[in-house]
Amino acid sequence: ETNGERHAFQAEVSKLLGLMANSLYRDKEIFLRELISNASDACDKLRYAAITQPDLLGDDAALAVTITPDSKSGVLVVADNGIGMNREELIDNLGTIARSGTEAFVKQMAESHGGDGQDEQDGQDGFAAGLIGQFGVGFYSCFMVAKRVEVVTRKPDEAEGWRWRSDGTGSFSIAPEADAARGTRIELHLRKDDREFLEPLRIRTVVKAYSDHIGLPIWLENDSGQKEMVNEGSALWSRPKTDIDEAQYREFYHHIAHMPGDPWHTIHLHAEGRIEYTALLFVPDSRPFDLFEPIRQHRVRLYVRRVFITDECEGLIPPYLRFVRGVVDSSDLALNVSRETLQNDPILAKIRTGLEGLYEDAEQKDRLLPLVRFRSTGGGDRWLSLDEYVDSMPEEQEAIYYISGEDPDALRRSPQVEGFRARGIDVLLMADPVDQFWLPVVGAYKEKSFRSVTQGAADLDRFAVRDEDKPDETDAPPPGEIDKLIALVKLTLADAVKDVRTSERLTDSPVCLVADEGDLDMHLERLLRQHKH
Ligand code: ADP
Ligand code: MG
């Protein structure tokens, strides 16, 4: 046969295709969104590969998507000059269901078909139609409008390309294609009823509605070969907030999130100063499918100056925030940063700190603070909420005391907390580096200000010492001796310290260091000194 070798679709794909073909789904137009989204991903991948292998771009460096309707033949072509696919990739990507969103879709579909009574057919179609709209099921959605689909594709570094053909019923064929252009060209042989997608106005409207945010040009070609750009052509996150409406954010979310539903919360921030980055992050409105998967991988895409780098950047987002979807684009990372060393990049560490909610997202702090848990000097291994802490404070206590450092156990033993322990006052242990950043921003909780026990006067005389911790009166030094001692210490240490004072803080240790009121917290000062180098 001249059609090349035949391959059967994976069973789930066949099921999905059957659904597509008979879909009652009204918004069939989303097939175009899916194809453009794939084309844009393919261009992103090539742009990234070309950083280290500029030859891959050859004399065709203007990456773009081109849509060409041919009303005579009834064929709609969506082409890109991106990374293309080799034979194996064609078989894997367009023959099986690899991506989690689609898999979840098929699962839900299968569950809903549990009874499988024929007379329920209408109801089931309605249900599946709803799901298609929610999920967006990728490449296969083109069978909603096409009775036959051909894919011609070639990798940039290969001489020969491939042609994939299918009518969406059970199997596809693959054959070599001698003069395939670089990238991927999808030819949709539209059904009679779906020829509306050949009308330029219809295409333009659909692109505007779903793909305006795509960061590369989308061209619409007419019969005489003239091209017109039909999208904005700049990455959504790089545009000013004021120019973006909610619908555009929503479409961008659909493009990158692969989640049903809409964003529940959108954070679009541009950080300037010592490091510069833009983040556009979304909190989905439903639980992710991989909630219980052991690989706690997040789904935030990393870009450097609008060049896609990776969506597997470990450490960009803390694991507990892995339900967040979105984009981080930094102009400070080196373009040729390797994916492997990214994790240890100091700039990335700073971006990550910036992305953690308590610090950057001060508006949300009233909702986030009650969720945070702390260890404390009195709490053993227990994690306290701020409410628990505040509720068990004695009446005389006006501040939330904390001590910061690197190691919670060392903090528990530090001399600065002795006096607090002796008076039964709990001290929170702030051992996460990020604590140093949100604490000054947040300032207080329920009108109780946060107060470092290593800073300023301890104002401990307002609290009574527990009996067992009372000092032995007979040990008290004769009057005047303390003043002499202080004078001697001051003289010896000279400029190394600002002041020497007696303190209520200590019960066992003879001395401890504290920062003056208004000066930086000692631990923060240490952290900052480390970062200077
Ligand atoms: P998804 O985009 O979520 O991975 P799709 O069903 O849309 O799922 O596409 C499946 C895979 O097929 C893609 O991940 C990609 O590897 C490949 N693919 C699809 N379209 C293209 C294209 N235009 N260029 C290169 N690869 C493509
Ligand atoms: Mg896709």
Q: To the nearest whole percent, how much of the chain has pLDDT over 70?
A: 84
- Whether the pLDDT of residue 348 is over 90: the answer is no
Q: Which of 31, 33, 38, 91 to mutate to test the pocket of ligand 1 (most atoms within 8 A of CB)?
A: 38
Residue 120 has pLDDT above 50, yes or no: no
Query: Angle at the Cα of 313 (from 307 to 315), degrees rounded to 5?
Result: 135
Q: pLDDT grade, residue 114 (50/70/90)?
A: very low
Cα(111) to ligand 2 centroid in Å equals 24
Interface predicted TM-score of the whole assembly (ipTM), two decimals: 0.99
Can you give the pLDDT at residue 115?
Answer: 40
For the cut 50, the answer to whether the pLDDT of residue 286 exceeds it is yes
Distance CA 415, CA 506 (A): 6
Among candidates 504, 482, 497, 486, which has minimal Cα distance to 417? Answer: 504
Q: State the average pLDDT over residues 4-19.
A: 87
Kindly provide the residue ranges of all beta strands, DSSP E only, lying in 364-447, ordered along the sequence: 373-376, 384-385, 399-404, 428-430, 444-445
Would you place residue 82 in the very low, low, confident or very high pLDDT band (cuts 50, 70, 90)?
Answer: very high
212 vs 114, which has greater pLDDT? 212
Q: Which has the higher per-residue pLDDT, 181 or 382?
A: 181
pLDDT at 209: 84
Buried b (16+ CB within 10 A) or exposed e, 57-66: beeeeebbbb
pLDDT at 296: 57
Backbone angles phi, psi at 230, to 5 degrees: -115, 5
What is the mean pLDDT of the segment spanning 122-147?
70
Q: Give residue 256 CA to ligand 2 midpoint distance, Å.
A: 9
pLDDT score recorded for residue 122: 45
Q: Are 187 and 70 in contact (CB under 8 A)?
A: no
Hey, whose CA ends up nearest to atom 15 of ligand 1?
A: 93
Kindly give the distance from the C-alpha atom of residue 471 to the centroid of ligand 1, in angstroms, as a whole number: 74
Q: Which pLDDT does position 91 carry in this prediction?
A: 93
pLDDT of residue 273: 77
Ligand nearest to the CA of 94: 1
CB 80 within 8 A of CB 154: no
Nearest to 139 by CA among 229, 295, 20, 11: 20
Mean pLDDT, rounded, of the chain: 83
Highest mean pLDDT among 5-9, 292-296, 505-509: 5-9
* Protein residue with its CA nearest to atom 14 in ligand 1: 93
Structural tokens at position 327 = 């984009």
Q: Which residues are annotated as a binding site for ATP?
A: 34, 38, 80, 85, 93, 100-101, 134-139, 184, 339
Ligand 1 centroid to Cα of residue 94, in Å, is 8
Evaluate if residue 472 carries a pLDDT over 90.
no
Could you tell me the pTM of the whole model? 0.65
Mutate to test the pocket of ligand 1, among 41, 86, 150, 325 (most ligand atoms within 8 A of CB): 41
Q: How far is the CA of 491 from the centre of ligand 2 (A)?
A: 73
State in Å: Cα 402 to ligand 2 middle.
49
- Least trusted range by pLDDT, from 36-45, 53-62, 281-290: 281-290
Instruction: Tell me the helices (H) and strands (E) count for the chain, helix number first.
Output: 16, 20
Atom of ligand 1 lying closest to residue 78 CA? 23
pLDDT: which is higher, 126 or 424: 424
Task: Find the mean pLDDT for residues 319-330.
Answer: 83
| pLDDT for the residue numbered 503 | 78
Where is average pLDDT lowest: 153-167, 337-351, 443-457?
337-351
Q: How far apart are CA 77 and CA 185, in angstroms?
A: 7
pLDDT at 1: 42
- What is the pLDDT confidence band of residue 284, given thresholds at 50, 70 and 90? confident
pLDDT score at 198 = 97
What pLDDT, in 10s, does the model give residues 404-419?
Answer: 888 888 899 888 888 8
> Contacts for 239-242 with beta carbons within 8 Å, 24 or more apart?
241/268
Res 117: pLDDT: 38
Whether pLDDT at 322 is above 80? no
What is the pLDDT confidence band of residue 467, given thresholds at 50, 70 and 90?
A: confident
Q: Percent of the chain, pLDDT > 90? A: 37
Least-confidence region, from 65-79, 117-131, 247-261, 489-503: 117-131
Average of per-residue pLDDT across 35-45: 93
Nearest ligand (C-alpha, residue 143): 1
Q: What is the largest CA-CA distance in the chain?
A: 109
Distance from C-alpha of 149 to C-alpha of 174, rounded to nearest angstrom? 12
Residue nearest atom 4 in ligand 1 by C-alpha distance: 99
Q: What are the two backbone dihedrals, phi and then psi, of residue 310, each rounded to the nearest 5 degrees?
A: -165, 155
Over residues 139-154, the pLDDT tens digits come to 998 999 999 999 999 9
Cα 353 to Cα 524: distance, rounded to the nearest angstrom: 14
Nearest to 219 by CA among 227, 211, 209: 227
Query: What pLDDT is stored for residue 460 in this prediction?
Result: 79
Q: Identify the band that residue 435 occupies on the pLDDT scale cut at 50, 70 and 90.
A: confident
pLDDT in tens, 166-215: 999 989 999 999 999 999 999 999 999 999 999 999 999 999 888 888 88
d(CA 77, CA 31): 12
Within 8 A by CB and 6+ apart from 508, the residues are: 415, 418
What residues are in contact with ligand 1 under a 6 Å CB criterion?
A: 34, 38-39, 42, 80, 82-85, 93-94, 99, 138-139, 184, 258
Return the pLDDT at 128.
Answer: 60
Task: Give the confidence band of 104 by pLDDT, cuts at 50, 70, 90.
Answer: low
